[in-house]
Structure 1
Amino acid sequence: MSYKLPRNSDGWVEPHDHPHVEGDHGVIRKVSSFYVVDDPKVEGGKRISTGLMSGSTSGSKGMSVDLQNMIEVAGVDPYIFVTTPKWIGSVRLVAKDVRNLDFMVGQDPIDGNDYHGEVWGTFSRARQKSLLRHSEWFVEIDGVKLCAD
């Protein structure tokens, strides 16, 4: 099950839909306290910022994620893998839902994380909100809502 990752001349992984990330596979986005915002309109007064669902300003311009199936196939507990003192929670999307929003989901291993992936596409505010609406808690942060809606 080998797949050669497409790379540009600078060595960055190019946006691609990885054939081994199937439609029902989980795509996990880690959450730091930076993305927990005050919102008096939601029960409990805190929610996740839409900015969680944004692409990087460097590299391949994708949104960093962890690929749940690859973690599990390696025999690693994904809940433990994605939770650290910096990453206090995480949300899960389903690859087919991400792709149905016209994003690509691919693998982009980084030092120390062979299960790292990217979501590539245009991260307009409306599309960020759509991604957040399609997500569910993977590791929930107590007292924090996912969406204001």
Structure 2
Amino acid sequence: MLTLPPRDENGNVLPHDHEQIEDTDGIIRRVSEVQTYEKNGVRRLSSVVFKASTTGENPGMSVDLEALAIAAGVNPKLHVTTPRWVGSIKFVAGALREEGFQIGYEPLDEDPPHPANPFHGEVWGEFSKPKQRALRALAEWYVPIPGVEIAEA
């Protein structure tokens, strides 16, 4: 298990680059059907997949930390796949860091109807159009959505 993340006075996780997340670790981003689009007869991932998914003072891209799930004896592909999240992509932590992103641990408590997620993390940084393209280029399918491509047209 990772050390707990730094928090502000209100209990919110602060952006950080967690030293216990290894450069070789898999960083998983869940994808839903509504995060796809069709152009010229080809379905692709929407740019929203490569942007911050949280709002507020420290917006980040919500992810799951593959190594934590494996260490807990949980199949990470089953963990990230739900009726809402039918697919997922994977990044390598070191590649995200090379693009200037921070990767931190942010375990989530149960928030009905959402269950607790002890393997949750965040990716913080600048999600500009060039960075979104870089993230798209770094992504590979983890749990593919049949007929959907990662690459842009």
Using the size of structure 1 for normalisation, the TM-score is 0.93
What stretches of structure 1 move > 2 A for 4+ residues in a row? 1-4
State the match for 1:67 in structure 2.
Answer: 65
AA aligned to 1:122 is E
Residues 1:123 and 2:121 aligned together: no
- What are the superposed Cα offsets for residues 73-132 of structure 1, whole Å, 9 maximum, x if unpaired? 000000100000000100000000000000000100102101000000011111011111
The one-letter code sitting in structure 2 at the alignment partner of 1:49 is S
Worse-matched range after superposition: 125-134 or 53-62: 53-62
Alpha-carbon distance in 1 for matches of 2:68, 2:39? 35
Q: What's 1:102 paired with?
A: 100
Aligned with residue 83 of structure 2, among 85, 89, 92: 85
Larger mean Cα displacement after TM superposition, 3-12 or 16-25: 3-12
- Whether contact under 8 Å (1:27, 1:67) holds in the other structure is yes
Q: Tell whether 2:141 aligns with 1:137.
A: yes
AA matched with 1:123: F
> Which residue matches 2:46?
49
Q: What is the 5 A alignment of 1:23-42?
A: 23-40=23-40
Equivalent position SS for 1:122: coil
Please, what is the CA RMSD of the aligned residues?
1.3
Instruction: Give the share of equivalent positions with the same residue, in percent.
Output: 41
SS at match of 1:70: helix
Q: Distance in 2 between matches of 1:139 and 1:64?
A: 16
Relative to structure 1, is the Cα distance of residues 26 and 118 closer, same or farther in structure 2, using a 3 angstrom cutoff?
Answer: same
**Which residue in the other structure is 2:112 paired with?**
none
The count of residues paired between Structure 1 and Structure 2 equals 146
Structure 2 residues not aligned, in runs of 5+: 110-115
Contact 1:65–1:119 (CA<8 Å) still a contact in 2?
A: yes
Letter in 2 for 1:11: G
